[in-house]
Amino acid sequence: QQPVQSPQAVILREGEDAVINCSSSKALYSVHWYRQKHGEAPVFLMILLKGGEQKGHEKISASFNEKKQQSSLYLTASQLSYSGTYFCGTENKDSSYKLIFGSGTRLLVRP
């Protein structure tokens, strides 16, 4: 049930771009993206509700392909503060209100 994220880890130099993918085997109502720093609670980034929806949040944006049950998070011109672990949370159509989180993608941005 857990969505699969790729890559598992990525290292960037400041200013570089990255894409994080989230793929589910289940039909989805929505996809949520969070970033977590070590020892802290996850921080909300954005929600995608409709298939084909794209959203932007400063230099972080995301897309949701409902048919493929996939979402991607795009990080452009990365900053040091982007370092952390990124999780997608999926709301499956065959279950009640709850988020199932993906395996996570560890991102390190170096100067």
Name the site residues for other proteins (rule: CB under 8 A): 2, 29-30, 32, 39-42, 44, 47, 49, 87, 89, 91, 93, 96-104, 106
Least distance to other proteins, CB of residue 15, Å? 27
| Residue number with CB closer to other proteins (15 or 37) | 37
What are 82's two structure tokens? 């982007």
DSSP, residue by residue, the chain: -PPEEE-SEEEEETT--EEEEEE-SS-EEEEEEEEE-TTS--EEEEEE-STT-EEEETTEEEEEETTTTEEEEEE-S--GGG-EEEEEEEEETTS-S--EE---EEEEEE-
| Residue number with CB closer to other proteins (72 or 102) | 102
Least distance to other proteins, CB of residue 5, Å? 9
Nearest to 2 by CA among 70, 102, 81: 102
Least distance to other proteins, CB of residue 62, Å? 14
| Residue number with CB closer to other proteins (16 or 63) | 63
| Residue number with CB closer to other proteins (16 or 46) | 46
Least distance to other proteins, CB of residue 41, Å? 4
